[in-house]
Structure 1
Amino acid sequence: MYRLVKPVFFKFDPERVHHFVVKRLKWFHDFFPLGKKILRKSYHLHSKELEREVFGLKFKNPVGLAAGFDKNGEFVEALSNLGFGFIEVGTVTPLPQPGNDKPRMFRLKEDEAIINRMGFNNKGVDVMAERLRLLKCKHSNIVVGGNIGKNKNTPNEEAVNDYIKCFDRLFDVVDYFVVNVSSPNTPGLRALQEKEPLMHILNTLQLRNNKEGISRPILLKIAPDLTIEQLDDIVEIVNETKIAGVIATNTTIDRNGLYAADGLKRETGGLSGKPLTKKSTEVIRYISTKSEGKFPIIGVGGIHTAQDAKEKLEAGASLVQLYTGFIYEGPGLIKRICKALC
């Protein structure tokens, strides 16, 4: 079915198509009498072999949806019924912000890739927190991660306050947190990946990570463009701060080897999709080896086939996430990966 409609979708602006599709999915799921059953029957694969326990959480399967697809936590229930084992929402910031000017998302069809410079467009953490509170009242079994960032106008020296606000507001309604300092689309954000500011943010959150005896796993999402020395620092930081693990990787600013037209290649923003497959897997393998597998890694970047997912798991990832591959291959990709893992 997806193969039939995909050529039509790909004729239109990718951001407009995204909003159109997820809203229709939610309508079909919520209001069509048999919507939930049809989605579950079509896309779910239940098997004990797929279950995982990672950083203290139980996952029905290891295939999740990466942050950026559902920025405001509006479609979690519908997306989970496509077969995902977990959903990561955000990136969310303390205050609402519109993001960068449009157009800000571009398909590189020849490369099966996307360039985006969305800029953390979202409705703010209060809106997300209330929406997730209602979701958790209905579906406490859906594993939800909260990807948190800083507002564009917040100076880097005050960034820790934005992460604290998001962390405190979402603490009761998410199962794990992801600290995003690796998006290339907020000016200066990647400077927070340097050791001193990053240690400050993570240690501050860890000090607050206890509420009535409950703590949440905190993960760090890193860029694929880090040097070996920076990756060594990341391993050291994770061990010192005792956060739960790493998500590898975010989008890349590298444009080498692309087939798309020069005009598209020159668009600023983060590149995702097939050109990232090998690079993200290499980062996973390096971190896993360097850390001697002492902390979990969620692998993301260029997963378009079941084999791509298996390679990331074999490289050292405990779980994987989809984004661009989900757009190019459709929801059937989740089930194909799960079948291969069985």
Structure 2
Amino acid sequence: MLTKAIGALAMPLLLSLPPETAHRATIAALKYAPLLPKTASPPGLAVSAFGLDFPNPIGMAAGFDKNAEVAGALIALGFGFVEVGTLTPRPQGGNPQPRLFRLPRDGALINRMGFNNDGYDAARMRLAARPAGGIVGVNIGPNRDAVDRIADVASGVKTFAPYASYFALNVSSPNTPGLRDLQQRAAFDELAARVAEARAQAAERRPLLVKIAPDLDLRGLDDVVEVCARRGVDGLIVANTTVARPASLEGRDHGEAGGLSGRPLFESSTRMLARAYLRSGGALTLIGSGGVEDAETALAKIEAGATLAQVYTGLVYRGPALIGEILQGLALAVERRGPLAALTGSRAREWAAGEG
């Protein structure tokens, strides 16, 4: 209740600030969140996936805690897991500002941040100093000017193996020129092979996931699924932001370059999620991302084939109360319809056919 009240007071102020200023203020405030009572997950929402036990299936997506500063605070707010990053080997400032735009009438954001972060070493020290507890994934990518982008990603696996609960390989951001080329079959096969080798050599063996673009065609999706299954990748995060601009967008900044996230991404990302679920035949664990803004959309991700789901843009507009609302809604669905495992993929064929 205290967290909800604080969020209700803070949200109007945060939404009145420029987006990046509001984000920095939120990160600063969250550094004090561990002083608040920890939010417990409702019963019946525990999930096991790629060898990890999650208290609930709702996670904080990458892009929020870019520098691994507040993972513990986010877990205290009720998230079942947190994904930090995207992190790159060397610090980089990202693209010129302004680079983050709200589209409130659309429930959306456009960003062209460009992997702005403090680099592997700074994040590694923060994760090493973090109190034990909670599932924290590390999202890694290459520097913009990397000579060998695959080597950048593979080095992240070795760097963070003692501290990461899992790895997410970001090959799908539209804001680093040429990055999405790593999703093409030959390049992706080399990436998966070299990262798997790095994992085999690391101090600790951690699950590997790949975050893909919602703009892949079906042939591209088939290639990704086949390579992941063959190379021992554990799962997919479906999906990153989109470069598409639906005609329905009303926000004045809808024409800005960058990746679109939030409500307009929900249907296309959920359809791709369902197609990945059907194509993988259970060989890959899926995390649904894109347009989760309430319990209904979170449940839709699960029904389309996700074992876990992630939130970001919805939190920007709804604040921390959203987490509890989603968890309570999922708990009610479990009470009425049975365990989450039985709901996973229950409507995949409908969503894959565009009937979700």
Q: Given the two structures, how large is their TM-score scaled by the length of structure 2?
A: 0.88
Counting only pairs closer than 5 Å after superposition, residues 135-284 of structure 1 correspond to structure 2 as 135=130, 138-139=131-132, 141-155=133-147, 158-210=148-200, 214-261=204-251, 264-284=253-273
Deviations 1:53-74 (A, max 9, x none): 1000111111000000001100
Letter aligned with residue 36 of structure 1? L
> 2: distance between equivalents of 1:212 and 1:315?
34
Shift in Å, 1:29: 2.7
Contact 1:202 1:241 in 2 (8 A): yes
Cα shift at 1:15? 0.6
Retained in 1: the 8 A contact 2:168–2:211?
Answer: yes
For 2:250 and 2:175, locate their aligned partners in 1 and report how far apart those are by CA, in whole Å. Answer: 21
Aligned equivalents of 2:177 and 2:90: distance in 1? 17
Partner of 1:131: 126
Which amino acid counterpart does residue 33 of structure 2 have in structure 1? Answer: H
CA-CA distance at 1:46 after TM superposition: 3.9
Which of 90, 96, 102 aligns to 2:85? It is: 90
For residues 284 and 206 of structure 2, what CA distance do their matches in structure 1 show? 15
Percent sequence identity is 42
Q: 2:282 aligns with which of 283, 286, 293?
A: 293
Q: Give the whole-Å Cα distance in 2 for the aligned partners of 1:145 and 1:159.
A: 20
Q: Alpha carbons of 1:337 and 1:208: their partners in 2 closer, same or farther (altered >3 Å)?
A: same
| 2:60 aligned partner | 65
SS at match of 1:259: coil
**What CA deviation, in whole Å up to 9, does each residue of 1:107-131 have, x standing for no partner?**
0011010000000000000111111
Given that residues 44 and 335 in structure 1 are in contact (C-alpha distance below 8 angstroms), is that contact kept between their aligned partners in structure 2? Answer: no
Of 13, 23, 26, 2:18 maps to: 13
Aligned to 1:36: 36
Whole-angstrom CA distance in 1 between matches of 2:262 and 2:48 = 27
Separation (CA, whole Å) in 2 of partners of 1:178 and 1:5: 31
2:30 equivalent to 1:25? yes
Unaligned runs of 5+ in 2: 332-356
**CA apart distance, 1:327:** 1.1
Aligned-CA RMSD value: 1.5
**Amino acid in structure 2 at the alignment position of 1:29:** A
Q: Which runs of 5+ in 1 are unaligned?
A: none
Q: Distance in 2 between matches of 1:91 and 1:25?
A: 19
Please tell me whether the aligned partners of residues 234 and 285 of structure 2 are also in contact (alpha carbons under 8 angstroms): yes
Counterpart AA for 1:264: D
For 2:33 and 2:294, locate their aligned partners in 1 and report how far apart those are by CA, in whole Å. Answer: 26
Number of matched residues? 326
Amino acid at match of 2:161: F
Amino acid at match of 1:281: T
Equivalent residue, structure 2, for 1:318 = 307
Q: Which residue of 1 aligns with 2:294?
A: 305
| Aligned mates of 1:211, 1:46 — CA distance in 2 | 39
CA–CA distance in 2 between the matches of 1:113 and 1:208? 37
Q: d(CA) in 2 for partners of 1:162 and 1:283?
A: 28
> Which amino acid letter does the alignment assign opposite residue 100 of structure 1?
N
Please give the TM-score of this superposition, normalised by the length of structure 1.
Answer: 0.92
Distance 2:98 2:288 in 1: 28
Letter in 1 for 2:316: I
1:174 is displaced (CA, Å) by: 0.4
Cα separation, 2, equivalents of 1:294 and 1:97: 36
Output the CA distance in 1 between the equivalents of 2:163 and 2:10: 35
Aligned 8 A contact 1:258 1:265 in 2? no
User: In the TM superposition, what is the alpha-carbon distance from 1:232 to its structure 2 partner?
Assistant: 1.0
Distance 1:110-1:216 versus aligned 2 partners, 3 A rule: same
